[in-house]
Amino acid sequence: MTIAKAFRGPLARSIAVTFGAKIVGAMLALVTSVIIARTLGPEGRGAFAAVSALAGIGSQFANLGLQASNSYYLARDRSLLPTVAANSAAVSLVAGLTAASVLAVYALWSGMAADVGSGLLTVALLGIPVSLAYMLFVGLLIPMSKVGQFNRVEIAIKILTLILILGVSLLDSAPTALQFLFAGLVAQIVMVVAAWRSINLPVGTLSKLSLPQLLEHLPFAFRAHLASFFAFLLVRIDMLMVQQISGNAEAGYYSIAVSMADLLYMFPATVGALLFPRLSAVNDESSRLRATLKALLGTAVAMSLMAIAAVFLAAPLIGLMFGERFLPAAPMFHVLALAIVAYGLNNVLSNHMASIGLPWKGVWLWLVGVVVNIVLNLYWIPAYGGWGAAMASLVAYVLVLIVQTGVVFGVRGVVR
């Protein structure tokens, strides 16, 4: 397998187009982030980021693995679409509200509600069912080969969010984090409707709800749910720990570093989203492994080059976009840039594991990473703040990468 071959073929072209769309969306999201950060300052931005991270964890937990199982089963049988869509809508409502209730109890118990404000927390938690519906509905487009519609919806939500954030900024001389968060929620509600329309299903499809099919898909969905939840928790738990251990200001700095790392992660996320349904439709294991290795090599090269460039540009860009008071985020990002390369490669390998039915070992390795990350955070955040959290992430991501590479390729041998 040569590096040149890793950048050829229909999948590579689809990745390039989708990644281009994601760059456009990321630039729009970055402008939105700059407006919020400059308006709220480090402390306000920290509270905003903390409740957003909490809501994100809730959405990830409440999806029950349906995002992965929907793609897995639709790649094999597209006639399942009406029932899959109806089941997704039901899970969004029931599981989303349940997750919001559980996290509300946690926020009250931990003191987070008092730190960030009950109003901000309430809007964030009410957004969980909405963001979950958006996640599941948009996720149906790729296995249905509607990549163009997927890209348009993803860009549209960024544009609408930016417009609403700008509207809040212009209409109020001193906008609050609550107003910004509510604007984002309104944008998501509008785009949930748009995502449903993009699937080309009538409203009556909601009556196709099938509990037997949902139960049939749950074993795979449950494993995918645990794996994705642990992977997401591995990335987001440090944001909450920085806020609770070092305070809102340090969390504000760290949130900027995390946001920039998220921009780098767009590429492997794109690779994984397009790779998974293709691998799931392949019956020959040798062909599946070759496709995975090709994607892995291409991702490694592209991510390494982007990370190197980002490290050199980080401080000037942070100073230019967010202001000098956010410059403490630069050294945090330097570490996260290296960490996100390892995390991105893990994403490719995880999609391979999911395409073969996701054995349990593909789940537990992520739990090991979470435990390692939390333990290191408890030692390093009190001493080093956000930089310590970034170092903990780097160690945890690399550990998971080593183990997962061994699981995917070590047992079967190197692909020729």
What does pLDDT average to in each consecutive run of 10 residues of the chain (416 residues)?
Answer: 50 71 80 82 79 83 81 80 86 90 87 79 88 87 79 85 87 80 87 82 73 81 80 79 82 84 82 79 77 85 88 85 82 90 89 82 86 92 88 92 86 39
Between CA 234 and CA 232 the distance in angstroms is 5
pLDDT for 413: 38
Q: How many CA atoms lie within 13 A of 291 on its CB side?
A: 25
pLDDT for 268: 84
Q: How far is CA 331 from CA 90, 153, 315, in A?
A: 44, 34, 8
CB-based contacts of 362: which residues, under 8 Å, 6+ apart?
223, 227, 350, 353, 354, 404, 407
Between CA 376 and CA 339 the distance in angstroms is 15
Q: At residue 376, what is the residue type? A: L
Between CA 139 and CA 346 the distance in angstroms is 20
Q: What phi and psi values does residue 60 have, to the nearest 5 degrees?
A: -65, -40
- Both tokens of 135, joined, read 């996640």
